[in-house]
């Protein structure tokens, strides 16, 4: 009879024998000794190998580890051992696998050896006493997605530590024309959270040859609990990357910006030869009936979060980053591959540390799920996940056009019959009595319990930038018309209920030269050209004004669907390709009794009748401001072509 390893690993008996619930896996460096623990239940023997330098081929000491209960192997090293490098030799039958343990907190160059680290020694001055920016409700977040290298590498950035963590620690940086860049730009723009593409140690960059041009987004994990060396000023020093990352976080916190990590627990960069698989072969992954790796990620493998020690690893990892680095949020790549129980446990444990930590992710997988969607953290199950948000791809594609058809238009660029899906994003993917759910682009029902579970966006690192997409869908139009469309797209995002998410550089009309999947394209494609801030200053000021309005008026940040239904009323519009609504009754304790928002995606002006008179104008086709820029005579208003109009009255 054929023995299925999947059945063994998934059995209650295996869990009873080998589930280890303590939080001491990995390496603990103390003043008088270092303690090592690794979970390797299928190993016959584990040998700890110690090295003086990260590139040494021969170790200076070998220690046979002691087998304990629950599949754990342990050892102790006397004395203060900070800075010593190590690996484990895992002996399984005839196999000899040399690994860096999955709980390694520091690694040497290219992540080939773990490093014994005294984490207190990595704290920059003032780290323990620094405070996070105040933050109350998830809907107060305004997220800005950025890549460490993109944001500083261009010569126009005025940043010294280009492509490094420390680049976002530099203040008062300017482009050649004197406009703010980097962290100073983020402050000026007014966002609350910067979402960083992967900063853990990933596989694709050769840290020994950084003088050779290399680029990757980083969605190929190597060492989950360690940091990427190419973002430090010296990748050979495992401690320095930690200190510089903390310095960056501290600087951002002190300047009012919280930090979100993009985490990729759904797959590993290597598959058969990943450190996880070499430690406990086949345990960490989903396999088919023939023992082949299942690929739900599009990257060769899918991790098995439903298994107790995989779940524990994911939870322990986010808890570690939240505690050690004061991380303020986690964005889960292909969250739909993870099971609901795991995501609930992530949320529970993070709430024990800091209730304000954001958790959100992609509510889908790259292919059909082997365990069935009913068990998984897909978008349709978001309502089962308290305080966990999902990206709203319905409204994304409704506003700008399909993600996989570069020429297809959306509401803002001229396509018809998308009003209901735009409304769906406006109510944060929740239930609202005035939304016709039979006409939503991809969903047939609300999938969020509250607006806080909906991430509204039109662009991110994937696919074309917003500006490139508009130039493809509306290629025959003038630049001024395309700018109108760009502004309208993110005006919808920034005024909708839920959590707005902006792709870095959208406010500068960022281009990637029409490269759709730039995950390993050169800097010339991915870098932010800060001279565009000068060239398109009006666009930047428009985004800045919209953010100021959102932050000043809690009516845009309602926290539950009942409040939303009582205080958000859609208006009848004079034409198709228009959406309008009123936030009323001093919604969410707003200082304004009424706020009216009207989106006109038509190429012509339209007159809209308002329910009251006495309105002040805060946003028109040119400008967005937290202060009035005009008044409306009577109770009718002309809405300019391809524009968002925001009106308020007491």
Cα 613 from Cα 571, distance rounded (Å): 15
Please give the full DSSP string across 107-151, using - where no structure is assigned.
B-GGG-SEE---GGGGPPTTTTT--PPP---GGG--EEEE-TTTT
In this structure, the dihedral spanned by the alpha carbons of residues 481, 486, 490 and 495, taken in order and rounded to 10 degrees, is: -10
CA trace torsion 570, 574, 579, 582 (10° rounding): -40
In whole angstroms, what is the distance from residue 54 CA to residue 97 CA? 18
Dist. CA 347–CA 385, nearest whole Å: 9
Asked whether the CA dihedral 462, 465, 470, 476 is positive or negative, the reply is negative
What is the three-state SS of 513-575?
A: CCCCCCCCCCHHHHCCCCHHHHHCHHHHHHHHHHHHHHHHCHHHHCCCHHHHHHHEEECCCCC
Pairing mode of beta strands 193-196, 143-146: parallel
If one counts every other C-beta atom within 10 angstroms of the C-beta of residue 125, the result is: 9
Q: What is the 8-class DSSP label of residue 5?
A: H
The Cα 44–Cα 247 span in angstroms is 42
Q: Which residues contact 128 (CB under 8 A, 6 or more apart)?
A: none
Query: How many Cα atoms sit within 13 Å of 422 on the Cβ side?
Result: 31
Is residue 126 packed enough to be buried (19+ CB in 10 Å), middle (13-18) or exposed (0-12)? exposed
Provide the token pair at 292: 């082949």
The residues, any chain, with a CB within 8 Å of residue 233's CB and separated by 6 or more, are 161, 164, 166, 240, 244
What are residue 600's DSSP bridge partners? 578, 643
Q: What is the DSSP string of 317-366?
A: HHHHHHHHH---EEEETTGGGSBHHHHHHHHHHHHHH-TT-EEEE----S
Q: Residue-wise over 86-108: b if at least 16 C-beta within 10 A, else e?
A: bbbbbebeeeebebbbbbbbbbb
The tokens 């991110």 sit on which residue?
460
Catalytic residue positions, numbered? 333, 362
Cβ-based burial of 25 (10 A; exposed 0-12, middle 13-18, buried ≥19): buried
Tell me the C-alpha distance between 278 and 188, whole Å: 47
Q: Helix 537-552 and helix 479-495: axis angle, to 10°?
A: 20
Show Cβ contacts of residue 95 under 8 Å, excluding neighbours closer than 6 positions.
none
Which residue(s) pair with 648 in the sheet? 595, 616
């Amino acid at each position: 009879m054929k023995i299925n390893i999947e059945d063994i690993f998934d059995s209650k008996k295996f869990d009873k024998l080998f589930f280890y619930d303590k939080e001491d896996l990995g390496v603990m460096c103390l003043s008088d000794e270092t303690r090592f623990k690794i979970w390797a239940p299928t190993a016959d023997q584990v040998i700890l190998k110690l090295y003086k330098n990260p590139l040494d081929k021969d170790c200076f000491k070998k220690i046979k580890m002691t087998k304990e209960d629950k599949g754990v192997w342990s050892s102790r090293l006397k004395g203060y051992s900070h800075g010593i490098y190590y690996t484990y030799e895992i002996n399984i039958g005839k196999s000899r696998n040399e690994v860096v343990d999955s709980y390694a907190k520091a690694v040497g160059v290219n992540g080939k050896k773990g490093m014994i680290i005294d984490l207190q020694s990595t704290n920059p001055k003032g780290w323990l006493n620094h405070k996070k920016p105040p933050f109350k409700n998830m809907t107060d977040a305004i997220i800005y997605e950025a890549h460490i290298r993109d944001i500083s590498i261009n010569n126009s950035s005025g940043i010294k530590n280009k492509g490094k963590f420390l680049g976002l620690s530099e203040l008062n940086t300017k482009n050649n024309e004197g406009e703010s860049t980097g962290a100073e730009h983020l402050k000026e723009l007014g966002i609350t959270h910067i979402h960083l593409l992967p900063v853990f140690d990933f596989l694709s960059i050769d840290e020994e040859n950084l003088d050779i041009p290399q680029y990757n987004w980083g969605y190929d994990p190597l060492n989950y609990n360690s940091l990427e060396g190419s973002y430090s000023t010296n990748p050979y020093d495992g401690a320095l990357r930690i200190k510089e990352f903390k310095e960056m976080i501290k600087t951002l916190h002190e300047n009012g910006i919280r930090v979100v990590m993009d985490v990729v627990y759904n797959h590993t960069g290597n598959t058969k030869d990943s450190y996880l698989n070499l430690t406990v072969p086949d345990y960490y992954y989903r396999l088919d009936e023939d023992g082949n790796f299942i690929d739900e990620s599009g990257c060769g493998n899918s991790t098995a979060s439903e298994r107790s020690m995989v779940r524990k690893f994911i939870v322990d990892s986010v808890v570690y980053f939240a505690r050690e680095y004061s991380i303020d949020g986690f964005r889960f790549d292909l969250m739909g591959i993870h099971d609901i129980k795991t995501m609930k446990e992530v949320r529970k444990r993070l709430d024990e540390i800091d209730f304000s930590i954001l958790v959100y992710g992609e509510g889908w997988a790259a292919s059909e799920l082997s365990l069935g969607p009913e068990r998984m953290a897909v978008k349709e199950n978001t309502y089962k996940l308290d305080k966990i948000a999902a990206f709203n791809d319905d409204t994304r594609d409704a506003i700008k056009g399909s993600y996989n058809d570069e020429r297809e238009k959306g509401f803002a660029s001229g396509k018809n019959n998308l009003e209901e899906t735009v409304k769906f994003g406006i109510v944060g993917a929740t239930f609202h009595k005035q939304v016709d759910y039979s006409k939503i682009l991809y969903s047939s029902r609300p999938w969020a319990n509250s607006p806080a579970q909906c991430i509204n966006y039109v662009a991110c690192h994937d696919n074309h930038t917003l500006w490139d997409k508009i130039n493809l869908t509306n290629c025959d139009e003038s630049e001024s018309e395309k700018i109108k469309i760009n502004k309208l797209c993110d005006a919808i995002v920034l005024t909708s209920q839920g959590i707005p998410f902006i792709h870095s550089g959208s406010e500068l009309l960022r281009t990637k030269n029409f490269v759709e999947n730039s995950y390993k394209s050169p800097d010339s494609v991915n870098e932010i050209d800060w001279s565009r801030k000068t060239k398109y200053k009006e666009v930047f000021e428009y985004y800045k004004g919209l953010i100021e309005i959102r932050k000043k008026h809690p009516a845009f940040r309602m926290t539950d669907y009942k409040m939303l239904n009582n205080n958000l009323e859609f208006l009848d519009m004079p034409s198709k390709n228009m959406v309008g609504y009123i936030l009323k009754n001093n919604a969410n304790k707003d200082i304004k009794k009424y706020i009216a928002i009207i989106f006109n995606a038509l190429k012509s002006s339209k007159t809209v009748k308002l329910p009251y008179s006495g309105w002040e104008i805060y946003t028109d086709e040119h400008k967005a401001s937290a202060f009035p820029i005009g008044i409306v005579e009577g109770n009718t208003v002309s809405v300019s072509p391809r524009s968002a109009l925001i009106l308020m009255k007491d």
